[in-house]
């Protein structure tokens, strides 16, 4: 039975019950057909024979009674009426006998009828003789006396005829009773057979229904229990029904689905662990980039402060050069005043030498600041390269995270773009610092030459007063050099201002980088929460080993 499908079991059950019911129906049909045949035989054979035989018997009794009444009647008119009734009854009895003769088929009925017919003919002859005797007596004017004829002739014949008719009626009545008993027996047999058949059909239906119920509820209960375990997160249950039916197909489908879900959830668990690891690495990279961006911002602030100091020093140098230029012009004017102003010119030259020394010291400070800026720019360049490398690592980790790291990939791309902008800006600053260093070096060289010439002028003033004219020319020749130095100082001040502006932009870029990294940190936290939720959601599943 386990190899049969549920459909086949249902069909077999219905077929078995249908076969039993068909057998019961065939047997009932046979019984009722037999009962119908018996009833038809009774209706068309036995009952007509019984009816006609009874009718003949009644007619003969009526004939006997009429004949007796005729014999006892003295009134001629009444006797005539009775004679007519006797004739009518005789015709009716003859018709009944003819009808009975047409229905008999058995030999016993034929023998009985032959005897009755012979006796009836004798009775009719005797009856006719009585009537003829009565008419003859009346025609002679005598009083008829039929009693002797009735007693001696008619009565013996009537007794025999009545006995024969009674035997024939009893025979037909016996046949009717036998047919009735046979019909009753058939009906009782049909009742018992139908009852037994119905009980067998009911028992078979209950047995097959119980087998079908077990065949359905057993595997269905196991399937429902397995589904309940799966709802609770236990995917380790598998079904082995050891049968070949629709439930076996369902069990195979359930096992295949459980295997697929186990594989899928296992992959999700491994992916969640990998995503968590990638998120941790991305978070560490983000924190490192945030620290680097903070360091860049602090370094940029220091560079901006240094640039402001350089700008202030350059402005002071410009003012000093203006003062030196004014002093040189005044010196030239005083030198033209003669020997009397030589002493004042010497003092003025002394002031010029002191101013030149101050300029040299300021230029030295400016050169040191420019060197510091160059070191800071080198540091910023290294930090920008490190930031670019970190953003590249962050992009790689974001690619590993899949769709959960897309937001962080955008942030990493923005950080790399800002790092590139920082590198470009530091390169511009480096070029500006180199220009400043070149200008400072040119200024230092010019001031060295200027100081040397002033010393020589002082020596010449102290040694030879006559060389005053040459000194005046040299002093006048220093004015264009002061203008060149002044222009260099102004260029340095302008470069320092540009450096300050560039550093301001770099500071804003660093601030944007910090904000982007903060957003990246928030995105990482949200991604970490999502990963944690996913891990907690799938941690309740119990997989098959």
Give the start-to-end residue ranges of the domains of the chain. 6-226, 261-538
Q: Which tens digit of pLDDT belongs to each residue from 291-305?
A: 776 777 777 777 777
**DSSP codes, 468-512:** HHHHHHHHHHHHHHHHHHHHHHHHHHHHHHHHHHHHHHHHHHHHH
Q: Report the alpha-carbon distance of residue 211 to residue 218 in Å, rounded.
A: 10
Dihedral sign computed on CA atoms, order 422, 427, 432, 437: positive
pLDDT at 199: 92
Cβ atoms of residues 316 and 522 within 8 Å = no
State the pLDDT confidence band at 88, using cuts at 50, 70 and 90.
very high
Residue 157: pLDDT over 60 = yes
Backbone angles phi, psi at 30, to 5 degrees: -65, -45
Other Cβ atoms within 10 Å of 462 Cβ, number? 10
Cα angle value 41/44/49 (rounded, 5°): 100
**Counting every residue, how long is the chain?**
545
Which whole-number Å values give the CA distances from 207 to 92, 221, 234, 405, in the listed order?
68, 21, 37, 65
User: If you average pLDDT over residues 320-332, what whole number do you get?
Assistant: 69
User: If you average pLDDT over residues 45-49, what whole number do you get?
Assistant: 73
Q: Buried b / exposed e across 88-104, counting CB within 10 Å, b at 16+? A: ebbebbeebbeebeebb
3-state secondary structure of 137: helix
User: If you average pLDDT over residues 22-47, what whole number do you get?
Assistant: 80
Q: Report the alpha-carbon distance of residue 327 to residue 479 in Å, rounded.
A: 10
Q: Report the alpha-carbon distance of residue 327 to residue 345 in Å, rounded.
A: 10
Q: Report the alpha-carbon distance of residue 83 to residue 75 in Å, rounded.
A: 12
Q: Pick 261-538's CATH classification: 1.20.1440, 3.30.56, 1.10.287, 1.20.1250.
A: 1.10.287
Q: Buried b / exposed e across 218-231, counting CB within 10 Å, b at 16+? A: ebeebbeebeeebe
In 3D space, the residue among 42, 58, 54, 45 whose CA is nearest the CA of residue 170 turns out to be: 54
Residue 534: pLDDT over 70 = no
Name the average pLDDT for the chain: 77
Q: Which tens digit of pLDDT belongs to each residue from 158-186?
A: 899 888 888 888 888 888 888 889 888 98
- Quick one: residue 542, left, alpha or beta (phi over 0 = left, psi -120 to 50 = alpha)? beta
Q: Report the alpha-carbon distance of residue 71 to residue 153 in Å, rounded.
A: 14
How much of the chain exceeds pLDDT 90, in percent?
3
Which whole-number Å values give the CA distances from 246 to 219, 241, 377, in the listed order?
10, 11, 79
Residue 1: pLDDT over 60 = no
Name the more confident of 125 and 137: 125
Cα angle value 292/297/302 (rounded, 5°): 125
Residue 115: pLDDT over 80 = yes
Q: Which tens digit of pLDDT belongs to each residue from 328-370?
A: 667 667 656 666 666 776 777 677 667 767 777 877 787 787 6
Q: Which residues pair with 542 in a beta bridge?
A: 234
Other Cβ atoms within 10 Å of 525 Cβ, number? 12
State the pLDDT confidence band at 218, using cuts at 50, 70 and 90.
confident
Which whole-number Å values give the CA distances from 318 to 299, 327, 362, 420, in the listed order?
28, 14, 11, 36
- Which helix (H) or strand (E) segment is 76 a member of? helix 76-103
Q: Report the alpha-carbon distance of residue 214 to residue 244 in Å, rounded.
A: 15
Domain 6-226 in CATH 3.20.130.10? The answer is no
Q: Which residues pair with 60 in a beta bridge?
A: none
Q: Report the alpha-carbon distance of residue 291 to residue 407 in Å, rounded.
A: 20
Which whole-number Å values give the CA distances from 340 to 216, 337, 463, in the listed order?
137, 7, 16
pLDDT at 371: 77
Q: Which residues pair with 234 in a beta bridge?
A: 542
Of 134-143, 251-260, 484-493, the least confident:
484-493
Q: Report the alpha-carbon distance of residue 525 to residue 406 in Å, rounded.
A: 14
Q: Buried b / exposed e across 419-451, counting CB within 10 Å, b at 16+? A: bebbbebbebbbebbeebbebbeebbebbeebb
Which of 33-37, 414-418, 421-425 is the most confident on average?
Answer: 33-37
Q: Report the alpha-carbon distance of residue 257 to residue 253 in Å, rounded.
A: 6
3-state secondary structure of 39: helix
Q: Report the alpha-carbon distance of residue 375 to residue 399 in Å, rounded.
A: 36
pLDDT at 118: 92
Which of 79-83, 146-150, 464-468 is the most confident on average?
Answer: 79-83
In 3D space, the residue among 494, 525, 349 whose CA is nearest the CA of residue 432 turns out to be: 494
Other Cβ atoms within 10 Å of 121 Cβ, number? 12
User: If you average pLDDT over residues 194-200, what whole number do you get?
Assistant: 89
Q: Which tens digit of pLDDT belongs to each residue from 439-457?
A: 767 776 876 787 777 678 7
Enter the DSSP assignment of 43.
I
pLDDT at 209: 84
Is 0.85 topped by the overall pTM?
no
Cα angle value 330/335/337 (rounded, 5°): 100
């Amino acid at each position: 039975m386990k190899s049969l499908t549920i459909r086949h079991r249902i069909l077999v059950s219905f077929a078995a019950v249908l076969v039993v019911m068909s057998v019961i129906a065939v047997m009932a049909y046979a019984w009722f057909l037999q009962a119908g045949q018996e009833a038809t035989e009774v209706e068309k054979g036995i009952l007509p024979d019984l009816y006609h035989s009874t009718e003949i018997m009644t007619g003969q009794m009526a004939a006997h009674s009429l004949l007796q009444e005729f014999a006892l009647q003295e009134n001629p008119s009444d006797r005539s009426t009775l004679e007519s009734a006797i004739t009518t009854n005789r015709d009716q009895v003859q018709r009944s006998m003819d009808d009975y003769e047409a229905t008999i088929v058995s030999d016993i009925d034929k023998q009985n009828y032959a005897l009755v017919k012979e006796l009836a003919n004798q009775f009719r002859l005797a009856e006719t003789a009585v009537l003829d005797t009565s008419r003859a007596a009346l025609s002679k004017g005598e009083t008829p006396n039929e009693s002797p004829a009735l007693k001696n002739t008619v009565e013996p014949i009537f007794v025999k005829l009545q006995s024969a008719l009674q035997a024939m009626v009893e025979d037909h009545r016996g046949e009717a009773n036998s047919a009735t008993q046979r019909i009753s027996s058939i009906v009782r047999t049909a009742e018992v057979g139908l009852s037994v058949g119905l009980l067998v059909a009911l028992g078979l239906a209950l047995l097959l229904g119980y087998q079908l119920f077990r065949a359905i509820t057993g595997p269905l209960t196991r399937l429902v229990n397995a589904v309940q375990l799966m709802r609770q997160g236990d995917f380790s249950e598998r079904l082995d029904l050891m049968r070949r039916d629709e439930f076996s197909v369902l069990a195979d489908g359930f096992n295949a689905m459980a295997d697929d879900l186990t594989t899928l959830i296992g992959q999700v668990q491994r992916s969640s662990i990998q995503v968590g690891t990638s998120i941790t690495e991305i978070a560490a990279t983000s924190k490192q980039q945030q620290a680097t961006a903070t360091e860049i911002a602090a370094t940029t602030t220091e560079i901006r402060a240094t640039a402001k100091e350089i700008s202030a020093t350059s402005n002071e140098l410009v003012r000093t050069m203006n003062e030196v230029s004014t002093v040189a012009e005044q010196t030239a004017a005083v030198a033209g005043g003669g020997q009397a102003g030589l002493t004042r010119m010497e003092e003025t030259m002394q002031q010029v030498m002191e101013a030149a020394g101050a300029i040299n010291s300021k230029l030295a400070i400016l050169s040191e600041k420019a060197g510091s800026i160059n070191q800071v720019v080198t540091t910023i360049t290294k930090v920008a390269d490190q930031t670019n490398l970190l953003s590249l690592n962050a992009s790689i980790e974001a690619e590993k995270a899949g769709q959960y790291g897309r937001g962080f990939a955008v942030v990493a791309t923005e950080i790399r773009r800002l790092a590139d902008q920082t590198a470009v800006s530091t390169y511009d600053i480096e070029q500006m610092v180199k220009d400043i260093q070149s200008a400072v070096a040119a200024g230092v060289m010019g001031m060295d030459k200027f100081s040397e010439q002033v010393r020589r002028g002082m020596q010449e003033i102290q040694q030879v007063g006559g060389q005053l004219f040459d000194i005046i020319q040299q002093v006048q020749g220093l004015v264009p050099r002061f203008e060149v130095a002044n222009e260099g100082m102004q260029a340095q001040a302008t470069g320092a201002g540009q450096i300050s502006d560039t550093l301001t932009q770099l500071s804003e870029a660093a601030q944007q980088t910090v904000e982007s990294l903060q957003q990246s940190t928030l995105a990482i936290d949200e991604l970490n929460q999502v990963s944690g939720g996913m891990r907690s959601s799938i941690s309740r599943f119990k997989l098959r080993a």
